[in-house]
Amino acid sequence: MNMRKKGRLLACMAISATCLTMVFTSGTAVAQSGDAAATYPSKAITIISPFSAGGGTDFIARLLASELSKALGQSVVVENRPGANGMIGSSYVAKAKPDGYTLLLGTVGTHGINQAVYDNVLYDTVKDFAPISLIGSTPMLILAHPSVQANNAAELVAEAGRRHSPMIFSSAGIGSVGHVAGELFAQEAGIKLIHAPYRGAAPAAVDLVGGQLQLMFGTPVSTASYVESGKIKVLGVTSAQRSKLVPDVPTLNEQGFKDFDVSTWYGLLAPANTPKPIIDKLAQKTIDFLAQPNIQQQMLQQGLETVGNRPEAFEALIQGEVSKWSKIKLAK
């Protein structure tokens, strides 16, 4: 055999060996992934709540931990890691080992709004996480003081155009869902509104009732008593479909604001590269317990409508949120 033929033969053998190694390695990785899912979980799971204890995020995290613990037969604990509007806890999970034992209760803030408020978010909203399932959501209401003549969103836009000075709207704070919902509404309606941030929804609602400002973007639960007493009125709901919480209130979509969809939502996520069988197992367990009427009732009492969807659907939602809020114009 001459040297040229011998060289080609050796090259072919090397390529074949490499291909066999790749196939074996790939097969081994798939097998290990399947084995991990079959034995998962074999130890305690931690759900990171990226906000302080006692709030809505914490309530959902603890309900989720309790139900997943029953479904998986393993301890599930909640750890609060607040700071930077949820970025501290979210960043911690993004860097965690992708084995299914460190999870995140993410929100529309951590996985959508933050990029509209902060120049340097501490993680990549899409690339650093593996979505598991959307847990629940609640819409925003456009609320007005009785001195505002408008009784719906279209009339509000017309009234804003007639005024010599912009109307003022309150929210639970800078970067809150109420804040960005108001900014998005003004942007799409082509009107000028001035934002007045408060430290929470309660003081924001009190000043609306008192007439210190004209509008507020707030949740149904946080403003229900004022609406029922007639101290403030509702002009529309910001979700894509009518809410079970306020079924008689028309959406902005119904009032001519095409594709307007803003809600506070909560969802379960894992670090990127967590084995898919583990993601699927967690998703199915989550969907199963969210289908229980008693769980739905508990969440509704907190002002939340249950969802429970597949990872692919939740991932599509997050990508849509990133696209939506990257276009909003906020003063940073």
The pLDDT value recorded for residue 276 is 97
Burial class (CB within 10 angstroms; exposed 0-12, middle 13-18, buried 19+) of 272:
middle
The pLDDT value recorded for residue 207 is 97
Nearest residue to 257 via CA among 236, 279, 243, 226? 236
Burial class (CB within 10 angstroms; exposed 0-12, middle 13-18, buried 19+) of 327:
exposed
pLDDT band of residue 9 (cuts 50, 70, 90) is very low
Sheet holding 76-80: strands in order across? 76-80, 45-49, 102-107, 263-271, 129-139, 305-306
pLDDT band of residue 32 (cuts 50, 70, 90) is low
* CATH number of the structural domain spanning residue 87: 3.40.190.150
pLDDT band of residue 329 (cuts 50, 70, 90) is low
245, part of any domain: no
Both 197 and 210 in one domain: the answer is: yes
Instruction: Report the alpha-carbon distance of residue 231 to residue 236 in Å, rounded.
Output: 16
242, part of any domain: no
* CATH number of the structural domain spanning residue 193: 3.40.190.10
Instruction: Report the alpha-carbon distance of residue 54 to residue 243 in Å, rounded.
Output: 25
Give tens-digit pLDDT for 111-133. Answer: 999 987 888 899 999 999 999 99
Both 130 and 162 in one domain: the answer is: no
The pLDDT value recorded for residue 213 is 96
Both 146 and 226 in one domain: the answer is: yes
Domain range enclosing 77: 43-138+263-326
209, part of any domain: yes
Instruction: Write down the pTM of the prediction.
Output: 0.85
Both 116 and 180 in one domain: the answer is: no
Give tens-digit pLDDT for 134-167. Answer: 999 999 999 999 999 999 999 999 999 999 999 9
Q: Tell me if the bond preceding 41 is cis, omega within 30° of 0.
A: yes
pLDDT band of residue 33 (cuts 50, 70, 90) is low
Produce one character per residue of 296-312: b if its CB has 16 or more CB atoms within 10 Å, e if not. Answer: beebbeebbbbbbbbbe
Which tokens in the block code for residue 169? 């709207």
Count up the domains in the chain and report the number: 2
